[in-house]
Structure 1
Amino acid sequence: MSSRIDIDAPPAATQHPRSVVPTFGETFRIWARIGLLSFGGPAGQIALMHRELVERRGWIGEERFLHALNYCMLLPGPEAQQLAVYIGWLMHRTAGGVAAGLLFVLPGAIVMLALSLFYALYRDAPLVDAVFFGVKAAVLAVVVEAVLRIGRRALRNRAMMAIAAASFIGICLFKIPFPIIILLAGIVGWVGARRRPDLFAGGGGHGASAGAQATGIVDEMFARGELAHAEPSMSRAMKVLAVWLPIWLGPVVALLVLTGPDSVWTHVGAFFSSMAVVTFGGAYAVLAYVAQAAVETFGWLQPGEMVDGLGLAETTPGPLIMVTQFVGFLAAYRDPGALDPVVAGALGALLTTWVTFAPCFLWIFLGAPYVEALRSNRRLFAALSAVTAAVVGVILNLAVWFALHVVFREVRPMGFGPDLPVLASIDWSAALLAAAAMVAMLRFKIGMTATLAACALAGVALRAVGG
């Protein structure tokens, strides 16, 4: 009987023999499908993978899917992409993990590169300016919705609320760097788990879905002893480090040697490499960190442009953290040296994407065999719970930052605390459009893509009538 799988077939439980292991080519097609359809942020992407891999095809069981997701939530970086690498690695070793991870990222990276180039060349055109005027209002609503959604899940008691409040005060008033906030929150959770485990109990991932398979083909492969590569091995771990550390950091070191410590290439490579190890809590959390550095430290972008980049990333498939590619493109485009600006921008985008996603393969290939030990460590999951609570405060700061630069035409930088708006510069059109976007998403549950599109059209209409 052929093991070929129709990607539009009914659920695997009724069509696909449970003992038949999918070929590399079959999984390649499904990962390509997932990469092209992975809109809607990490929640939508994880739901898509669950539907395709657990419910429809039974390649992986419900419990093992959640097990893998819980581990990926512990890691820095985009958990949805790491989950794809993890499952691909389980089924087809390193080659499967690389294929799954690349296919999950590649469609969004190509689209984002095209959008970044279009933005750089035509941003000042009246029509494009009007579109982004509307998109910014929608992005503010998206970030506010993220604060509420993550807050409902993470702030389960007064301890978590206190951590979120301290995080907001620390980053908003005292400008404490994002990595330090994450480190301090993790320490609080680790210590708190010992003294008050009832307040710092680690959380799980996503609940089971109707129609999900209790076990899958991967589980059967485990039972038959066919997944030797998933067993912990120190020699294998050393090999992973020897291969993937140079893959990740080799280009950064080479650029440092070739262009010097003060070049835009060195700054982009070093900054986004360091970001790759502290991006706990998802894209919204790290955006505040990226915005602070890109706008205030390096001067690569203007404040409003960071909001534009997020709006572009929301419209592309793949991880939302792809907004970093937009930052890398503009940084190199505006400081091209001897290169053509477009070529420099494309190389800057490639470099940013490389150092953002290459570490994800390292984390999975190195740590996945030890996931059982990590999963049983309650104090580690307590630290994650505290980090997630701190992320709520960080995202709230991002919402405040975006609101200031969307609703007001002028802000006054202060030596201490957040920028203060110039009240006379309020943009009533932007304020009303942002309020309408929030009502649409929060009250009427209209989707992010539809809200973005509607606000873009509204922005064009308002500018056409002189609003």
Structure 2
Amino acid sequence: MLNLPPARRPKFKEALRFWFKLGWISFGGTAGHIAIMHDFLVDKKKWISNSRFFHALSLCMLLPGPEAQQLSIYIGQQLHGKKGGIAAGILFVLPSMFILLALSIVYVSYGNLPWIYSLFNGLKPAVIALIIVALFRVGKKSLQSPLHCAIAGLAFICIFFFNISLLLIIIGTIIIAVLLHYINPRSLLRDQDTSEQELADEKSYFINQISASQTEKFSWKNMVIQLVVFFVLWLMPFVCCLIFLPDRPFWKNLILFFTQTAFFTFGGSYTVLPYVAQFAVGKFAWLSKMQMVDGFALAETTPGPLIIVVGFVGFMSGFNHFHESILMGTVALLTTVFYTFLPCFLYIFAGGPLIEKSHGSQTISSVLKLVSAAVVGVIFNLTIYLGKDVIFPGGVAIAHLDLISLAWILVSLFLLVRLNLNAIYLIFLSLCVGFLRFIAGI
């Protein structure tokens, strides 16, 4: 295999453009975010190698909070230090927060506007196409042996048929890998020729197995400084809310609840949201069950992590508690989002040295490659899960087949694969398709 020239470090402005764009087009939940990030960062720009991408992702999946945002913080940090990590993490969630804020204000002011849902529904077939393309690319690199294929298939069966959480699938995969490592280590290893080819290919990426890390080496001094900075950032808005805003108990409960949610809920959005709903609706009575369902629907139609629905919960909490005040609802939404996503930065900045240290271990690398294979099974499940609802919006039956959505998925695949159309242009075209469907009433 030819030794390709190493990729250059992207300019900070170039990286900012991507993180900003990602914040607007990252539909489809965690797996959708991973697919879009992998397509651009690994395949197109060669900013990070496939092995480093999935190594970091596998470790992020073991942390509470949105894995995709944590991965973006990590990659941003490796590209441009702490400022890169901060920019990537903020831009990942900022567009979806503003979109959800606007939709929340429209929701309480005018009710559900059909044309807004039509616009976002026009995007869904394109998102399915993006995920399908990324699924094949990721699968080609991650499914390197019959064992990897078997793990991917097993992960798909677990999540599709038995609704087992992502966290349990990852933990189960790690257990299987560790057992295989001790019982039959050769089963985790591939032939040496393939490894040599991979090593040569690694050098063509800016962030690769042998590249210098942008993460500071672990020290207790750095750890203490990071914890102090985090505590100050956490404390300042808390104190401001208690001093300048009315009804201190409300703000205290809101901030402490979503801080607790961010730190102690594992397993992805679909395990976090029932917990949030149980307390927000049942214990605190911040909003009704139907409002919670509507918020989930709004979050499904906006880019960014699905957990952004907590912003709608915060908005409705402030809106309802302060007698239909849009201003208090807006403040509550901003507060909720801040305390939900702030810990992600601490996890990556404090845990970055451990991620860097672990990627040099052959044992850990072999274990995490099986985790990467399991992720392929999860992305395949997402493709079917979302694709089914897009193609058969009224239920899986010929009578409910949406021919226009099916046709747009095929057209999108053609545009992406054959014509190599930029995803931004595809998103714009899809919005136009959604608007035209609304006008035509189809």
Under a length normalisation based on structure 1, what TM-score does the superposition of the two structures give? 0.65
1:59 alignment partner in structure 2: none
Amino acid at match of 1:125: L
2:160 alignment partner in structure 1: 172
1:380 alignment partner in structure 2: 364
Q: Distance in 2 between matches of 1:293 and 1:423?
A: 36
1:19 alignment partner in structure 2: none
1:236 alignment partner in structure 2: 221
Query: 1:105-124 alignment to 2 at 5 Å?
Result: 105-122=89-106, 124=112
Amino acid at match of 1:389: A
1:308 alignment partner in structure 2: 301
Alpha-carbon distance, 1:432 to partner: 2.5
Query: 1:237-276 alignment to 2 at 5 Å?
Result: 239=224, 242-243=227-228, 246=231, 258=249, 268-274=258-264
Q: Deviations along 1:163-189, whole A, 9 cap, x unmatched?
A: 111111111111111111111111212
Alpha-carbon distance, 1:147 to partner: 2.2
1:464 alignment partner in structure 2: 439
Name which of 32, 52, 72 aligns with 1:80: 72
Contact between 2:152 and 2:377, CA under 8 Å: does it hold in 1? yes
In structure 2, the gaps of 5 or more residues are 1-5, 23-35, 61-66, 242-247, 282-288
1:425 alignment partner in structure 2: 400
Higher helix share: 2
- 1:389 matched to 2:381? The reply is no
Distance of aligned partners of 1:147 and 1:343 in 2 relative to their CA distance in 1, 3 Å threshold: farther
Name which of 146, 161, 165 aligns with 1:158: 146
Amino acid at match of 2:102: F
Contact between 1:408 and 1:426, CA under 8 Å: does it hold in 2? yes
Q: Distance in 1 between matches of 2:187 and 2:234?
A: 39
Q: Distance in 2 between matches of 1:183 and 1:307?
A: 27
Alpha-carbon distance, 1:385 to partner: 0.9
Contact between 2:262 and 2:339, CA under 8 Å: does it hold in 1? no
- 1:35 matched to 2:16? The reply is yes
Q: Distance in 1 between matches of 2:331 and 2:52?
A: 34
2:25 alignment partner in structure 1: none
Contact between 1:163 and 1:185, CA under 8 Å: does it hold in 2? yes
Q: Distance in 1 between matches of 2:238 and 2:188?
A: 40
Alpha-carbon distance, 1:134 to partner: 0.8
Q: Distance in 2 between matches of 1:428 and 1:292?
A: 33
Q: Distance in 2 between matches of 1:178 and 1:270?
A: 20
- 1:207 matched to 2:199? The reply is no
Q: Deviations along 1:220-241, whole A, 9 cap, x unmatched?
A: xx9xxxx9x94443x3365257
Contact between 2:77 and 2:84, CA under 8 Å: does it hold in 1? yes
What root-mean-square deviation, in Å, do the aligned CA atoms of Structure 1 and Structure 2 show?
4.6
Q: Distance in 1 between matches of 2:390 and 2:275?
A: 19
Q: Distance in 2 between matches of 1:360 and 1:367?
A: 10
Q: Deviations along 1:97-144, whole A, 9 cap, x unmatched?
A: 2x3322233345443322222333447334323312211221222222
Q: Distance in 2 between matches of 1:374 and 1:260?
A: 40
Percent identity (aligned): 14
Q: Distance in 2 between matches of 1:169 and 1:335?
A: 38
Amino acid at match of 1:151: G
Contact between 1:133 and 1:430, CA under 8 Å: does it hold in 2? no
Alpha-carbon distance, 1:159 to partner: 0.9
Name which of 429, 446, 451 aligns with 2:421: 446
Higher mean Cα deviation, 239-248 or 139-148? Answer: 239-248
Name which of 404, 422, 425 aligns with 2:388: 404
Contact between 1:409 and 1:425, CA under 8 Å: does it hold in 2? yes
Distance of aligned partners of 1:110 and 1:232 in 2 relative to their CA distance in 1, 3 Å threshold: closer
2:171 alignment partner in structure 1: 183
Give the length in aligned residue pairs.
Answer: 382
Amino acid at match of 2:228: V
Amino acid at match of 2:376: V
Q: Distance in 2 between matches of 1:71 and 1:246?
A: 29
Q: Distance in 2 between matches of 1:67 and 1:396?
A: 20
Contact between 2:73 and 2:348, CA under 8 Å: does it hold in 1? no
Q: Distance in 2 between matches of 1:438 and 1:400?
A: 16
Contact between 1:333 and 1:342, CA under 8 Å: does it hold in 2? no
- 1:348 matched to 2:333? The reply is yes
Under a length normalisation based on structure 2, what TM-score does the superposition of the two structures give? 0.68
Alpha-carbon distance, 1:85 to partner: 2.5
Amino acid at match of 1:351: T
Distance of aligned partners of 1:273 and 1:152 in 2 relative to their CA distance in 1, 3 Å threshold: farther
Amino acid at match of 1:308: T
Contact between 1:329 and 1:346, CA under 8 Å: does it hold in 2? no
Contact between 2:7 and 2:204, CA under 8 Å: does it hold in 1? no
Q: Distance in 2 between matches of 1:245 and 1:348?
A: 20
SS at match of 1:451: helix
Amino acid at match of 2:167: P
1:331 alignment partner in structure 2: 313
Alpha-carbon distance, 1:367 to partner: 4.2
2:244 alignment partner in structure 1: none
SS at match of 1:75: helix
Distance of aligned partners of 1:349 and 1:444 in 2 relative to their CA distance in 1, 3 Å threshold: farther
SS at match of 2:393: coil
Q: Distance in 2 between matches of 1:294 and 1:429?
A: 36
Distance of aligned partners of 1:82 and 1:397 in 2 relative to their CA distance in 1, 3 Å threshold: same
Q: Distance in 2 between matches of 1:266 and 1:403?
A: 37
Contact between 2:226 and 2:346, CA under 8 Å: does it hold in 1? no
SS at match of 1:445: coil
Q: Distance in 1 between matches of 2:221 and 2:275?
A: 37
